[in-house]
Structure 1
Amino acid sequence: MMFSTDLNSYPYSIAIHDFNKDGQADITVANHGTKNLVTFLGRGNGTFENQASYGVSFNFDPLVVGAGNFDKDERSEIVVAYEDMDNVDVFVTYDTGSFGHQITYITGYWSNFLAVGDFNNDTRLDLVVAHGQNDIVSVLLGYGNGSFANQTIYSTGSGPQSLVVNDFNNDNRLDIVVANYYNNTVSVLLGYGNGSFANQMIYSTGSYPIFVTVGDFNNDNQLDIIIVNSGYSTVSVLLGYGNGSFANQKTYPTGSGPSSVVVGDFNHDTRLDIVVTNFYGKSIIRRQKKVRWS
């Protein structure tokens, strides 16, 4: 099934949450070309309503959209970050699926990626945003009512492009891993559980790392990370030791211009596989049990 986001809209990012409190997953799309958000409300059977008329228009290009239930009202709010801007906007959602009550928060410049998590263990969702021009991530702690504290910033490598949030040292506190596009590294920032983070630890990757995600690739019950290297057309796997540190990378070839990766057990053998999209190769590559991660 395909759903139109209008001519020259150039959809760039999506978020999937329940935006109208009906218990069904909905889709919100950030359109880079038409500078707006549109929503497709889910019917609960795998189909969606036509593009909602209650989109939000912007003066600047939305680059990334995220969502979370920031005020505990059973509806997910929407977070939008922009190209060439130094702020994020949080939009309250209504039972109709429409948006309103925009709140703006100052952050770093040129937001490439954002993620949601509870960084201070207060059961309230917080935000972390990667800023490609400032070489930082911004952490905004949530108050549980849809609003956030001012940002706290942490240094990364050059050109943070993507990030992932998880507990990499088994202390029940969320940590952050950031892919740094311009100096071919990932930064690991271990969380203290109070909303603050340790200074970055740096690991080498391939050329121009553009995307990072997580999985247990060697079945040792410790989280590992996988990075898409758009320059060398490879992926790097860094096996985790379970204490927040990682082994040196092992690289595996992909098609030309890899841009993203999805992790899952696609052949039901209890071993994680990966699917990589290749921007220039116009293909996808799946790797399964024939590849040894360690």
Structure 2
Amino acid sequence: MSTVQCDRTQLSPISGNGTFATQHTFPTGATPQSLAVADVNGDSKLDIIVAHAGSDNIGILLNIGDDKFSAIIIYSVGSEPHSIATADINGDNKIDIIVANADSDNISVLVNIGNGTFANHMIYAAGSSPYSVAVADIDGDKKVDIIVANSNANNIGIFINKGNGTFYDQITYSTDSQPYFVIAANMNGDGQFDILVANRGKSNVGIFFNKGNGTFDPQITYPSGVAPYSIAVADLNENNKLDIIVGNAGSDNVGVLLADCI
């Protein structure tokens, strides 16, 4: 058994052997539901952004070096923020924040105005209960678009970037029951971002293949375990194809869909 020792306030691997020190905690708002990491103030240090589902805001912990973070900085968003994504949405080389607000049926976009501070959130109407948000250049115009999983509407919504950091109304594509998690990835090697969704109510994973112009074919579904809550992709068997990893909350397991079998 390995013994881990560390006198610094961080969660860190020791000696590169994949073990970790005891966690150190930082106060947040109520019910920290989701988080992201990004350099929001341009100092080349990764900061932490947290969605507080219980207090209808997000918090930012600025990395001040030496494994320490600032006191949390709070920004208001919609009701029950459930998921966070980060990206430069307006081309100014600053990281902006996108939040899916599950109870107010909308997304919040917070534009970085410099030094890690943000303008008041802009609100865009989504479908019912947007539980997950992702970002990607869907239509190949080198501008970041937004994808949400509208769980109670049984669809995904795509917000196309107008080019100035604002967005058109969502375009929806039907899913199976209760889409709970969404990501974007190039699944077929054509250089276009496809969309993957965990359909919690139907216990499957759906893939929407990009036609090449920012529109999508209807989803193709693959069985998962019971009530999939989360998806990740990676080339697990080193064949230069992305495989799918699924967290199945209802069957207490993790499923792997190998690309050769999809």
Match of 1:266 among 236, 241, 245: 236
What is the aligned-residue RMSD (CA, Å)?
2.2
Give the conservation status (yes or no) of the 8 Å contact 1:160–1:180.
Answer: yes
Q: Does the 8 Å contact 1:88/1:106 carry over to 2? A: yes
Pick from 280, 283, 287: which aligns with 2:253? 283
Deviations 1:176-202 (A, max 9, x none): 110011011000001123210111000
The reply on whether 1:195 has 2:195 as its aligned counterpart is no
Distance in 2 between residues matched to 1:203 and 1:228, nearest whole Å: 14
> How many Å separate the matches in 1 of 2:142 and 2:27?
39
Give runs of aligned pairs for residues 1-294 of structure 1, distance below 5 A: 39-43=10-14, 45=16, 46-52=18-24, 55-58=25-28, 60-292=30-262
Under a length normalisation based on structure 1, what TM-score does the superposition of the two structures give? 0.81
CA distance in 2, matches of 1:219, 1:94: 40
Unaligned runs of 5+ in 1: 3-19, 21-37
The verdict on how the C-alpha distance between 1:168 and 1:283 changes in structure 2, with shifts beyond 3 A counting, is: same
> Is the Cα–Cα contact under 8 Å of residues 34 and 82 in structure 2 kept in the other structure?
yes
- Structure 1 counterpart of 2:5: none
Please give the TM-score of this superposition, normalised by the length of structure 2.
Answer: 0.91
Give aligned pairs, total: 257
Q: Which runs of 5+ in 2 are unaligned?
A: 3-7
Structure 1 runs (4+) deviating above 6 angstroms are: none
Q: Is 183-192 or 218-227 further displaced after alignment?
A: 218-227
Q: Identical aligned pairs, as a percentage?
A: 34
Distance 1:183 1:162 in 2: 13
**CA–CA distance in structure 2, aligned partners of residues 251 and 185 of structure 1:** 14
Shift of 1:237: 0.8
Q: Is the 8 A contact 2:225 2:253 kept in 1?
A: yes
- Deviation string for 1:185-231 (max 9, x for gaps)? 00000112321011100000111111111222222222111100111
Distance 1:187-1:48 versus aligned 2 partners, 3 A rule: same
Give the residue type in structure 2 aligned to 1:86. Answer: D
Aligned partners of 2:157, 2:10: CA distance in 1, in Å? 34
